Homo-oligomer: A and B are copies of this chain.
């Protein structure tokens, strides 16, 4: 699914033949490692419901799910599937399509929140796909929709590390999202993504270009082990998503802008060529992206502590003056601000985020897999037209309830 992969795989193959256990890595500069994503593979169930039909079935007004949530469909599993079968399918497919020798994999880590066992990890079930190779690190990570991102960051660190033995890491994110009958049910979905991680990657990661936010929140959790459904507070979850997004965005912008060279465009809502957001439903992503424009306007007027007013700066967007000094939390429900931000961000959203969002519009929320499904969607739709050219950058935002979120930048 990742263009340019066959070439990159060859490069990685060359690396594998050099044994890093005997060839010291000292002296290799980080930017020469190009740690990142070599390839990815997606699996979604073939069973699917159109949101317009679900509206009729649920007896709600037409457009409530399609326009209100911005969703077109949702994928669902029969009772013959669980998170282990989803993971087995997607990893098997990755190995097969990219002709990966199972002995060249040194790490497999799974992110999920659809556990079928409190102790036995999905990672160990996947070991059946690696005959003749028991030498594979990695376990299973849990943190609502964030587990896959935790696994990916761990894999990046492992591949960057001096302990890396030259082999691939595979990161799996798989989930089945289901909700009790009610307003959240149309945000169900199901899917899995497997990512191949290594050096000399076509999508590379600079480990300094990331920012994290975590807090003890009770927006979404699964305390009752006998039911599949979560306890979810929709309004609180949206606030937590906004708060996490704004924090990691401001932090990442501060980090990148602090070290950026003179003459290089500042990191802001429109500087990454493309964005990929964790997508519970399309409308939330659209509204959230708008929040970045408020953050940019604030940063233009205030210093990074949000206190001292920059005397020579103006609100570039002109129309946000009323909200600049207000604490973010107090503006989350403000419909007037929402429509102003929608107007300001509409074109940029269409250009930079709508391609990533397309897959989630069709199959629904896939929890840990959602952000990677978005990445796959972007690569398919934009990369497929040859437009993911070297030098382009992607801003990635991953959110998990509870809560834990990271924003990072990838380089083509």
Binding site for B on A (CB under 8 A): 21-22, 26, 29-30, 113-121, 123-128, 134-144, 146-147, 150, 153-154, 156-158, 160-163, 206-208, 210-218, 220-223, 225-226, 230, 247, 251, 255, 258-259, 400-404, 406
Q: List 28 A-B contacts (CB under 8 A).
A: A21-B258, A22-B259, A115-B142, A119-B220, A119-B222, A119-B402, A120-B402, A121-B404, A123-B214, A123-B404, A124-B216, A124-B217, A126-B216, A127-B215, A135-B212, A136-B212, A136-B214, A137-B153, A139-B146, A139-B150, A140-B141, A140-B143, A154-B157, A156-B163, A157-B163, A163-B206, A163-B207, A226-B226
CA–CA, A141 and B150, complex, Å: 10
Q: A124-B404, A125-B216, A156-B163 given. 5 additional CB < 8 A pairs?
A: A119-B230, A121-B404, A137-B212, A141-B141, A163-B210
CA–CA, A215 and B223, complex, Å: 30
CA–CA, A163 and B157, complex, Å: 8
**Of A114, A216, A251, most B-chain CB atoms within 10 Å:** A216
Contact B208 A255 (CB under 8 A): no
10 residue pairs, one from A and one from B, having the closest CB atoms: A163-B207, A225-B225, A139-B143, A157-B157, A120-B221, A124-B402, A118-B222, A121-B143, A139-B150, A119-B222
**Of A120, A138, A206, A259, most B-chain CB atoms within 10 Å:** A120
> Whole-angstrom distance from the CB of A383 to the nearest CB of chain B?
26
Contact B135 A211 (CB under 8 A): yes
> Whole-angstrom distance from the CB of A156 to the nearest CB of chain B?
8
